[in-house]
């Protein structure tokens, strides 16, 4: 039986869109069919690079193409809400980059719109779909090494200070928390659940966005998740999960395809590799196609509720550090 080919479109061909296009090329049944930029020349350049048959000089033209099955929204955070709604209202399924939007109200409206229009919507939190992360989730669920007693996760890199750049610009939703702090926060949420209380402190740069953010999630039985993000310096970018009977480290960089080390309490150490030969973006895309083939409007893995919980935590942390966009 011939499997369906899904026609993908990219909206906003920036840095991540290039990586995603490479990952998508590894997905059976995926065709990168169209790309849209605010500049026709840029869309054409991207189309040439990735052999994309259709290119558009406006996002509106893209969503009016009846051939498109699913749009990957890859614009800066502040536009996720607007561009996702644009796609959904034109009956296009959407995979939207993280953070899903700027706050819980926006995410909620996106979800309600997807439900109303009866089209698929998912946040592109690719880490969730990576084999090493699925392995860790299973390990936690099975309690093979007992319960989690602590978690530490960091994500840091040194970005050159360019006030206009989306990483530093307040208008574009800049700062470390929403860009990379989301990964440690997501790790805590998926491994430990919602915390009972949160404390957080941030350092700000001149543009008013957080250059570093220190977060502690407190859970019952004195379990804490210590989370850190920064765009000021390189940090190990690992996640260490302490269980009752072992300590598991997700190696650098923990949010992308990597290996894990398990240090058992009897001091035996083992490294587990996962044989991933792609850049990793193929896994979320494969999942989306599976959901579309089943005519679902919501992912069975990354649910609407999970995305709402995540943005709710980011809202709470922003309130704690006093970061208002």
Ligand X SMILES: NC(=O)c1ccc[n+]([C@@H]2O[C@H](COP(=O)([O-])OP(=O)(O)OC[C@H]3O[C@@H](n4cnc5c(N)ncnc54)[C@H](OP(=O)(O)O)[C@@H]3O)[C@@H](O)[C@H]2O)c1
Which residue ranges make up the site for ligand X (CB under 6 A)? 12-17, 37-39, 42, 74-77, 79, 97-98, 124, 126, 166, 172, 179
Pairing outcome for strands 70-73 and 6-11: parallel
Q: At what angle do helices 281-293 and 15-24 cross, to 10 degrees?
A: 60
Nearer of residues 46 and 145 to ligand X, judged by Cβ:
46
Quickly list DSSP for 76-91.
Answer: -GGGHHHHHHHHHHTT
- Contact status, residue 271 vs residue 260, Cβ threshold 8 Å: yes
Please state, in angstroms and rounded to a whole number, the distance separating the CA atoms of residues 137 and 306.
Answer: 14
- Nearer to ligand X by Cβ, of 166 and 264: the residue is 166
Measured CA to CA, the distance from residue 193 to residue 185 in angstroms comes to 10
Tell me which residue of 108, 63, 100, 105 sits closest to 80, measured CA to CA.
100
Cβ at position 264, least distance to ligand X in Å:
32
* Nearest residue (CB) to ligand X, 123 versus 219: 123
Torsion region of 267: left, alpha or beta (phi above 0 gives left; psi -120 to 50 gives alpha): left
| Residue 123 or 152 with smaller CB distance to ligand X | 123
CB of 299 to ligand X, least distance (A): 16
Residue at token pair 């007693």: 149
**In angstroms, what is the minimal distance from the CB of 98 to ligand X?**
5
Minimum CB–partner distance for residue 94 and ligand X (Å): 14
Closer of 187 and 242 to ligand X (Cβ): 187
Pairwise CA distance, residues 49 & 36, whole Å: 14
Q: Minimum distance from CB of 160 to ligand X (Å)?
A: 14
Closest CB to ligand X: residue number: 14
Q: To the nearest whole angstrom, how small is the minimum distance from the Cβ of residue 76 to ligand X? A: 5
28, 287 Cβ separation under 8 angstroms: no
When the beta carbons of 148 and 181 are compared against ligand X, the nearer one is: 181
Please, which residue, 16 or 231, has the CB nearer to ligand X? 16
Minimum distance, C-beta of residue 73 to ligand X, in the bound complex (Å)? 8
Distance from C-alpha of 68 to C-alpha of 223, rounded to nearest angstrom: 46
């Amino acid at each position: 039986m011939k499997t369906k080919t899904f026609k993908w479109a990219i909206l906003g061909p920036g840095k991540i869109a290039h990586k995603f296009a490479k990952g998508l090329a590894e997905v059976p049944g995926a065709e990168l069919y169209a790309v849209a930029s605010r500049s026709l020349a840029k869309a054409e350049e991207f189309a040439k690079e990735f052999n994309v048959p259709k290119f558009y000089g406006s996002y509106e033209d893209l969503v009016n193409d009846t051939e498109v099955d699913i749009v990957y929204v890859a614009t800066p955070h502040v536009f996720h809400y607007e561009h996702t709604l644009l796609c959904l209202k034109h009956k296009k399924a959407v995979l939207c980059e993280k953070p899903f939007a700027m706050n819980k109200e926006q995410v909620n409206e996106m979800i309600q719109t997807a439900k109303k229009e009866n089209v698929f919507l998912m946040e592109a939190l690719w880490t969730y779909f990576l084999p090493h992360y699925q392995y860790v989730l299973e390990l936690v669920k099975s309690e093979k090494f007992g319960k989690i007693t602590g978690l530490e996760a960091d994500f840091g890199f040194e970005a050159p200070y360019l006030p206009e750049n989306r990483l530093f610009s307040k208008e574009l939703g800049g700062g470390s928390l929403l860009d990379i702090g989301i990964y440690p926060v997501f790790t805590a949420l998926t491994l430990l659940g919602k915390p009972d209380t949160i404390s957080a402190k941030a350092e700000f740069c001149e543009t008013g966005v957080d250059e570093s953010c220190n977060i502690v999630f407190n859970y019952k039985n004195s379990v804490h998740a210590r989370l850190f993000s920064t765009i000021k310096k390189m940090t190990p970018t690992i996640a260490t999960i302490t269980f009752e009977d072992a300590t598991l480290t997700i190696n650098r960089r923990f949010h992308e395809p990597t290996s894990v080390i398990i240090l058992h309490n009897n001091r035996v150490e083992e490294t587990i590799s996962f044989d991933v030969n792609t850049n990793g973006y193929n896994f979320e895309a494969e999942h989306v196609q599976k959901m579309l083939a089943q005519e679902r409007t919501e992912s069975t893995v990354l649910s609407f509720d999970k995305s709402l919980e995540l943005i709710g935590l980011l809202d709470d942390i922003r309130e704690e550090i006093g970061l208002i966009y």
